[in-house]
Structure 1
Amino acid sequence: MPRYRKLFYFALLLIILIYSVQMLNIANFPSEIDIIKGDSRNLNIFFPFSLEIMEDSIDIVRLQDSSKMGLNVGLKNSYKLESTNNGIAKLKFKLLGIFSIKNIKVNVVDQTYVVPGGEAIGVKLNTKGVLVVATSEISGIDGKIYNPAKKAGIKVGDSITTINGIKIKDAEHVIQLLNNIKSNKVKIEIERNNVSFVTEVLPVKSKQDNSYRLGIWVRDKTAGIGTLTFYEPKTKKFGALGHAITDADTGTLMKVENGEIMRAKVSSIEQGKKGSPGELRGMFFETEDVLGKIENNTAFGIYGIIYDYNKILKQKKTMPIGFQSEVKIGKAHILANIDGDNIEKYEVELIKMEKQNVPQSKSMVIKVTDSRLIEKTGGIVQGMSGSPIIQNGKIIGAVTHVFVNDPTKGYGIYIEWMLKEAGVLVNNNSEFAEGK
Structure 2
Amino acid sequence: MNRDSKIKLSFLLTILLLTVFCFNTQVMHLGTLPLKKKIIVGETLDLGFESNKFLQALEVDIQPNNCSALRNSKLTLSDTAPIVTNPGKINLSLKLFGIIPLRNVTVDVVPEIKVIPGGQSIGVMLHSQGVMVVGLAAVEDVHGRSFNPAREAGIKIGDVLLKVNGKKIKTENQLKDLVAQAGHNNKPVIMNVKRKNEEISFKVTPVYCDETKSYRLGLLIRDSAAGVGTLTFYHPDSRIYGALGHVITDTESGKKIDLSDGRIFEASIQDIHPGKTGQPGEKIGMLQNANNLNGNILKNTPYGIFGEISKPIKNPYFKQLIPVALPSQVKEGPAEIITVLKGNTMERFKIKIEEVTRQSKPHGKGMIIKITDPKLLQVTGGIIQGMSGSPIIQYTNEGQPVLVGAVTHVFINDPTRGYGVLAEWMIEEMETLSKETGSILQKKRDVQTIGHHNAA
Partner residue in 2 for 1:211 = 214
Normalised by the length of structure 1, the TM-score is 0.86
* CA deviation map 1:97-116 (0-9, x unaligned): 33545543322221111111
CA apart distance, 1:28: 4.1
1:152–1:82 CA distance, 2 compared to 1 (3 A): farther
CA apart distance, 1:230: 0.4
1:406–1:144 CA distance, 2 compared to 1 (3 A): closer
Please give the alpha-carbon distance, in whole angstroms, between the structure 2 residues aligned to 1:102 and 1:207.
71
Partner residue in 1 for 2:65 = 58
Which 5+ residue runs of structure 2 have no aligned equivalent? 1-8, 396-400, 435-440
Partner residue in 1 for 2:88 = 87
Partner residue in 2 for 1:33 = 37
CA apart distance, 1:411: 1.2
Partner residue in 1 for 2:109 = 108
TM alignment of 1:7-22, pairs within 5 A: 14-18=20-24, 22=27
Q: How many residues align?
A: 420
TM alignment of 1:183-262, pairs within 5 A: 183-262=186-265
Please give the alpha-carbon distance, in whole angstroms, between the structure 2 residues aligned to 1:270 and 1:363.
27
Which 5+ residue runs of structure 1 have no aligned equivalent? none
Secondary structure in structure 2 of the residue aligned to 1:175: helix
TM alignment of 1:388-403, pairs within 5 A: 388-392=391-395, 393-403=401-411
Counterpart contact for 1:64–1:79, Cα < 8 Å: no
* CA deviation map 1:372-409 (0-9, x unaligned): 21222222211111111111111111111112222222
Counterpart contact for 1:260–1:290, Cα < 8 Å: no
* CA deviation map 1:355-378 (0-9, x unaligned): 112111111111222212122222
Counterpart contact for 1:128–1:256, Cα < 8 Å: yes
Matching of residue 134 in structure 1 with residue 135 in structure 2: yes
Q: How high is the sequence identity, in percent, across the aligned residues?
A: 37
Please give the alpha-carbon distance, in whole angstroms, between the structure 2 residues aligned to 1:11 and 1:33.
31
Partner residue in 2 for 1:123 = 124
Normalised by the length of structure 2, the TM-score is 0.83
Please give the alpha-carbon distance, in whole angstroms, between the structure 2 residues aligned to 1:378 and 1:418.
27
Please give the alpha-carbon distance, in whole angstroms, between the structure 2 residues aligned to 1:405 and 1:267.
26
Counterpart contact for 2:127–2:262, Cα < 8 Å: yes
Please give the alpha-carbon distance, in whole angstroms, between the structure 1 residues aligned to 2:386 and 2:358.
27
Partner residue in 1 for 2:360 = 357
Please give the alpha-carbon distance, in whole angstroms, between the structure 1 residues aligned to 2:82 and 2:121.
40
Counterpart contact for 1:87–1:428, Cα < 8 Å: no
Structure 2 counterpart of 1:166, one-letter code: K
Secondary structure in structure 2 of the residue aligned to 1:80: coil
Partner residue in 1 for 2:6 = none
Counterpart contact for 1:398–1:415, Cα < 8 Å: yes
1:35–1:211 CA distance, 2 compared to 1 (3 A): same
* CA deviation map 1:178-223 (0-9, x unaligned): 2233343333222223333333323333333453322110011121
Matching of residue 275 in structure 1 with residue 293 in structure 2: no
Counterpart contact for 1:125–1:223, Cα < 8 Å: yes
* CA deviation map 1:241-298 (0-9, x unaligned): 1112222222222221111111111111111222222211111159775611111112
Counterpart contact for 2:408–2:418, Cα < 8 Å: yes
Structure 2 counterpart of 1:146, one-letter code: F
Q: 424-433 or 96-105: which moved more?
A: 424-433
Matching of residue 433 in structure 1 with residue 450 in structure 2: yes
Partner residue in 1 for 2:151 = 150
Counterpart contact for 2:65–2:72, Cα < 8 Å: no
Coordinate RMSD, CA, aligned: 3.0
